[in-house]
Homo-oligomer: A and B are copies of this chain.
Amino acid sequence: MQKYTVQELSNIAGVSVRTLHYYDKIGLLKPAVRTEAKYRLYGKNELLRLQQILFFKELDFPLKEILNILSDSEFDLIEALESHGQELVLKQKRISEMLITIEKTMLDLKEKKMITDNELYDGFSKEEANKNRKEIIEKYGAKALEKSEAYLKKLTKEQFEALKNEQREIFKVLFEISNQEPESKVVQLEISRHYKNIRKFWGTDGSSNSQWRNYTGLGELYIADERFTKIDGKVQPDFAIFLSKAMTYFANTQLK
């Protein structure tokens, strides 16, 4: 007759040795025999029983109930499955409700942190802001403005601040090499860094294509809105144009 040691059975069934010790202790799965040295040896019946145990365990039955099921008759099995299934359905309902609550809460929080129109042109006077917008429309059309503002409004306050601040560093590097061609490898490498850096604000929504379009749009925004491309506090219009070109080129080469 086939006999398995703890480790053998553990390998066959994919459970830990400790689990077998435990099942033995609680009387769920006793070894067929014990050697004089107290070693546990299991036979085929035990292997089968273990597989039954694992089946119910996968269904999230507590071990005590598994013990009952495996010792009682078949009729109880159906009943057990039925009532356990009902419990699971209830769990699902509860989780659904939790998910709804979570989504609502997130909406609430995001709403609070959404940028208001005022904050969008914060630091500019109303007139300046409007002048700013008119300029964009003249140069790039109303659609470009719309896209840019829609993009910014989707950000939270923190993200907006991060957008302004966190990129100073990388912009400095880019500024240093802004005498190079926007399509050059050196520039494109830095741009890819910038892209990765900015991507984390976009979350997971939107197709990859639309992400490239967004990125191009962001480049246009840099030209239009001088807040982003200030270097050491000074406005750099040429740099913004350089940036936009490099970004557009990057986006186009990535779009297969």
Query: In the complex, which residues 66-94 of chain A have their Cβ closer than 8 Å to any Cβ of chain B?
Result: 74-75, 77-78, 81-82, 84-85, 88-89, 91-92
Report yes or no: B74 in contact with A99, Cβ–Cβ below 8 A: no
Query: In the complex, which residues 91-113 of chain A have their Cβ closer than 8 Å to any Cβ of chain B?
Result: 91-92, 95-96, 98-99, 101-103, 105-106, 109-110, 113
Report yes or no: A75 in contact with B158, Cβ–Cβ below 8 A: yes
Copies in the complex: 2
Size category of the binding interface on chain A: 20 to 34
Q: A88's contact among B78, B81, B95, by CB below 8 Å, is which?
A: B95
Question: A residues engaging B (CB < 8 A)?
Answer: 58-60, 74-75, 77-78, 81-82, 84-85, 88-89, 91-92, 95-96, 98-99, 101-103, 105-106, 109-110, 113, 158
A84, closest chain B residue (CB): B102
The complex places the Cα of A88 from the Cα of B101 at a distance, in Å, of: 12
A204, closest chain B residue (CB): B82
Q: What would 15 A/B residue contacts be, using CB atoms closer than 8 Å?
A: A58-B98, A59-B102, A60-B95, A74-B113, A75-B158, A77-B109, A78-B106, A78-B110, A81-B105, A81-B106, A85-B102, A85-B103, A89-B99, A91-B95, A95-B95
Given A81-B106, A92-B95, A95-B92, check contact A101 B158 (CB 8 Å). no
A197 to chain B, nearest CB (A): 17
Contacts of A60 in B (CB 8 A): 95, 98
Contacts of A105 in B (CB 8 A): 81
The complex places the Cα of A102 from the Cα of B69 at a distance, in Å, of: 14
Given A74-B109, A92-B92, A109-B78, check contact A98 B158 (CB 8 Å). no
Report yes or no: B102 in contact with A88, Cβ–Cβ below 8 A: yes
Contacts of A103 in B (CB 8 A): 85
The complex places the Cα of A232 from the Cα of B88 at a distance, in Å, of: 46
The complex places the Cα of A118 from the Cα of B114 at a distance, in Å, of: 72
Contacts of A109 in B (CB 8 A): 74, 77-78, 81
User: Lowest 9 A-B CB distances belong to which pairs?
Assistant: A85-B102, A59-B98, A88-B95, A81-B102, A92-B95, A81-B106, A75-B158, A88-B99, A78-B109
